[in-house]
Homo-oligomer: A and B are copies of this chain.
Amino acid sequence: MLPASVSSYIDRNRQAFVDDLAKFLEIPSVSTLPDYDQDIHRAAQWVLDQLGSFGIEGRIYPTERHPVVLASSEHIPGAPVLLVYGHYDVQPPDPLDEWETPPFSPSIRNGYIHARGATDDKGQFLTYVKAAQAILGWGEKLPVNLKFLVEGEEEIGSPNLEKFLRENRAELLADAVAISDGAQFAPGIPAITYGLRGLCYFQLDVQGPRFDLHSGGFGGIVENPTQALANILAALKAPDHTVALPGFYDDVVALEKSEREELASLPVDENRIREYLGVAEFTGEPGYSVVERKGARPTLDINGIWGGFSGQGAKTIIPAKAGAKVSMRLVPDQDPARIARIFREFVEKSSPAGVKIKITELHGADPVLVSRHTPAMRAAEKAIEAGFGKKPVFIREGGSIPVVNLIKKHLGQENILLLGWGCPDDGAHSPNERFSLDDFHRGIRSVASLFYELGLHGA
């Protein structure tokens, strides 16, 4: 389906495309830490320049925090409109000492490029840019109208994207949306994701005494904020690993029998995953398989915890303060606002006398399921088969992509393609994040094919 000229352009420019990806990865565009604000802007400009270099023009839109890049190809009447979403921001790279090579000095080893953002999302997003370049750069006409929406706040929950979509709705309307910010089901098993978990993320700050106290002099009379925190966190989960918040599971849509059968048929090498993760055993909610638990069931995880003395040796204090980050992954039809309320009430009720607890909601996202029965979905299936040499499986993913909900809500668009080119063991959010150069190449071929499939059969 791919014109020979385009196919050959992609193959001949394989190394040049990797070089461009490395340049993108060198920019430490960490969205959550204010120190990197300049790099955020550099990354946005880089994306705009790339697109502009082969005629997809647009501009950088400031928001209250990090800017959005919006660019469109020259309009072709009658061709379907595909909105491509990606994000140029990345997670913080810490713990730094666990990286084999520095997180913002891309290093190629064993066929992988290693850097923060390699898979999430710079590498995956860039496949769309390079596919468009392969067509336009060769002098061909695009078979679709392309709109690129690239934000810098995905890793902090896209706080300003909603307003942006509302205000630029007309420019963003499309027949389908494509997002590659997930993963294949497993290496060599490409996938189309039709479900995403939602998110509800909190910070807890516990204040005890005004300052750290000598635990000899005051142990026994003062509530210890680290103990209060541990008690609250322990109470969030039941011994069987279910979430103990009252009513947490009330609105969870049960998995249908056919869906459980389909998920059960996916080839999962649990030993291989355990070995990769370095854990002796999987744990989790009883009655559900590993695949179900990581994608189709809600969870709660502590993302960080702190308080008091963590240096070498012994310091006998009652800490003045303690804190934790806690997040919940939600599934349809859990409502993040309702879950947030339940969480708040539970924590407030669990808070002991003698300490003060501050509960801050950091971000939230709705869970989502998209329709599997659209022309765009069939186009994606064919395109992936063309790019990867095998048919994709259909999966539900554990992560959240807030923009999916926003697109549904503000653009009224449910025709959303979630196509993962990376792999679950690429280490998104972990040290030594990587992206397979083969997957990068196959992703570019798939995207180019998708453009032609959509152009031929519509969205």
Contacts and interface: CB of A to CB of B under 8 A. Distances in A.
Taking residues whose C-beta sits less than 8 angstroms from the other chain, chain A's interface range is: 35 or more
Given A33-B311, A227-B233, A280-B354, A305 B303 contact: no
B315 A32 contact: yes
A306 B303 contact: no
Given A216-B399, A305-B226, A314-B362, A221 B283 contact: yes
Nearest to A427: B211
A353 B230 contact: no
A430 B208 CA distance: 14
Contacts of A293: 220-221
A156 B313 CA distance: 7
B428 A201 contact: no
A42 interface: no
A362 B313 contact: yes
Contacts of A318: 301, 303
Contact of A279 (B214, B220, B223, B427): B223
Interface in A306-343: 306-319, 322-325, 327, 329
Contacts of A427: 211
Contacts of A210: 276-278
17 contacts: A32-B311, A95-B212, A155-B314, A208-B279, A214-B429, A216-B398, A216-B400, A219-B294, A219-B301, A220-B293, A223-B281, A223-B283, A282-B354, A304-B317, A305-B310, A306-B306, A314-B362
Given A212-B430, A222-B279, A327 B314 contact: yes
B397 A277 contact: no
Nearest to A352: B283
Contact of A311 (B92, B219, B223): B92
A220 B156 CA distance: 22
A300 B314 CA distance: 14
A290 interface: yes
Interface string A200-213: 01000000111111
Nearest to A196: B216
Contacts of A29: none
Nearest to A270: B221
A231 interface: yes
Contact of A316 (B33, B218, B294, B303): B303
A297 interface: yes
Interface string A174-203: 000000000100000000000001010100
Contacts of A322: 305
Contacts of A197: 216
A179 B316 CA distance: 20
A284 B221 CA distance: 5
Nearest to A397: B216
Nearest to A209: B277
A432 interface: yes
A283 B314 contact: no
A252 interface: no
A363 B317 CA distance: 14
A91 interface: yes
A200 B324 CA distance: 26
A302 interface: yes
A55 interface: no
Given A215-B301, A277-B209, A315-B91, A329 B283 contact: no
A290 B311 CA distance: 30
* Of listed A297, A398, A424, residue having the most chain B CB within 10 A: A398
A157 interface: yes
A299 interface: yes
Contacts of A284: 220-222
Contacts of A301: 215, 219, 224, 227, 318
A217 interface: yes
Nearest to A214: B429
A372 interface: no
Contact of A283 (B222, B280, B282): B222
